[in-house]
Amino acid sequence: MAGMIEVHNLSKTFATKDADVEALQDINLSIQEGDIYGIIGMSGAGKSTLVRCLNFLERPTAGTVEIEGKDLSTLSEKELRAKRAEIAMIFQHFNLLMQKNVIDNICFPLLYGGVGKKDGGRRGTLSKKDARKRAEELLEIVGMTEKKEAYPSQLSGGQKQRVAIARALAANPKILLCDEATSALDPQTTQSILQLLKQINKEYGITIVIITHEMSVVREICSHVAIIGEGHLVEQGKVADIFSHPKTKEAKELIVKGRGEERRTLESHQKDLMKGKCCIRIVFSVNSSFEPVIANMVLRFGQPINILRADTKNVEGIARGEMILSLPDDVQMQKDMKAYLTERGLAVEEVDGYVD
């Protein structure tokens, strides 16, 4: 089935004085309607360029972007502007008009956007009064009604992002692109903005694409994730799958970094313990939590297991357990234990490679 957003073989090259810089190479994405799709990568990986290709703020050098089956490169300037009104965007630095108050900022897309009244002479249906009415509804959705006459400089970061979200929703978009929308906010505010995005996704069925470098953001609200590393798409899939079976180095790094963000890294003495030992990370999914797997394994093999760390994480609202175990030195025993764990539906993965 064709998705809401289909990206095929997209590449983007920037010509600079010295050389051409390939920001993106051969990206393929399929984002379904109603998804909350995370695009994550280290800074400089090309994710901001990628999100700008989705509404053609940046024209790809090669490849296509299709929105609801419509190839953006085939649209005229005017059609493209109308299409952009359906693809709203919010930004890291909010990008509100500093000289306009909150309500005028929200009215902007309604009056002057691709579907607005004064669009290069094309007259729409929305009057200034109707736009204000709609803006007030939106302020209620984002919980900013009492600030409608305030100017952006009088608002906090979180409040500005709420106004920006209201502005983005004004033209009834089908897609909301979020470019590092929470990166300039503190953890609590990030939480509240993410909850708001989740609510918008649920209530209005708006497809959301989230660009971020924080794994915690992806884990919190995304259903799917794509990992970008140095201009390439290295891994993509359901968030839950990528969390339990990260395949690539980039994915593992980001997951580990995600732990760092929560200040739950392994203590250094634990790292010492892991040196030269065979360590594995196991992930419990819902159904595997019922059986006392570790205890049963210890009884069955008659060998002590060292639990270096145990943790639960909230992935898409489902609690997932994670443990790092240090296995006995006997290689055959290690093999048997891994097989035993795998048999019981646990994801098993050797970790000594990247903990160091």
Partner 1 sequence: MWTSEMTLMMWVGVKETLIMTLLSTIFGYLLGLPMGIALAVTDAGGIRPNVVVYKILDVIANIVRSIPFLILLMLLMPVTRVIVGKSYGTAATVVPLTIAAAPFIGRMIESSINEVDRGVIEAAQSMGASTMTIIIRVMLVEARTSILVGVTIALGTILGYSAMAGIVGGGGLGDIAMRYGYYRYEADIMIVAVVLLVVLVQIFQTLGMRMSVKLDRRKR
Min. distance of Cβ 276 from partner 1 in angstroms?
A: 51
Residue 55 interacts with partner 1 (CB under 8 A): yes or no: yes
- The correct pick among 45, 166, 171, 193 for binding partner 1 (CB under 8 A) is 171
Report residue 18 as tokens. Answer: 């010295």
- Closer CB to partner 1, residue 84 or residue 281? 84
Count of residues in contact with partner 1, rule CB under 8 A: 36
Neighbour-count burial of 69, counting CB atoms closer than 10 A to its CB (0-12 exposed, 13-18 middle, 19+ buried): exposed
Min. distance of Cβ 144 from partner 1 in angstroms?
A: 17
Neighbouring C-beta atoms of residue 342, cutoff 10 Å = 12
Closest CA to 309 of 350, 270, 254: 270
- The correct pick among 2, 21, 62, 97 for binding partner 1 (CB under 8 A) is 97
Report residue 215 as tokens. Answer: 């794994």
Residue 99 interacts with partner 1 (CB under 8 A): yes or no: yes
Tell how far CA 129 is from the center of its chain. 36
Give the single-character DSSP code of 289. G
Question: Which residues within the stretch 107-146 sit at the binding site for partner 1 (CB under 8 A)?
Answer: 108-109, 112-116, 118-120
- The correct pick among 8, 93, 198, 271 for binding partner 1 (CB under 8 A) is 93
* Per-residue binder mask for partner 1 (CB under 8 A), 7-46, x = binder: ----------------------------------------
Residue 197 to residue 216: CA distance in whole angstroms: 15
Closest CA to 336 of 292, 278, 289: 278
Residue 61 interacts with partner 1 (CB under 8 A): yes or no: no
Q: Measuring CA to CA, how many Å separate 316 from each of 47, 90, 236, 254, 264?
A: 22, 22, 16, 17, 20
Q: Measuring CA to CA, how many Å separate 39 from each of 104, 123, 171, 241, 317?
A: 31, 37, 24, 15, 19
Residue 210 interacts with partner 1 (CB under 8 A): yes or no: no
Min. distance of Cβ 15 from partner 1 in angstroms?
A: 12
Q: Count the alpha carbons within 13 Å of 127 in the hemisphere toward its beta carbon.
A: 2
Min. distance of Cβ 7 from partner 1 in angstroms?
A: 18
Radius of gyration of the chain (CA): 24
Min. distance of Cβ 287 from partner 1 in angstroms?
A: 44
- Closer CB to partner 1, residue 149 or residue 261? 149
- The correct pick among 27, 29, 50, 88 for binding partner 1 (CB under 8 A) is 88
Residue 87 interacts with partner 1 (CB under 8 A): yes or no: yes
Min. distance of Cβ 184 from partner 1 in angstroms?
A: 12
Residue 80 to residue 75: CA distance in whole angstroms: 6
Report residue 269 as tokens. Answer: 């003495």
Q: Which residues bind partner 1 (CB under 8 A)?
A: 55, 57, 80-85, 87-89, 91, 93, 95-101, 108-109, 112-116, 118-120, 151, 153-154, 164, 171, 177
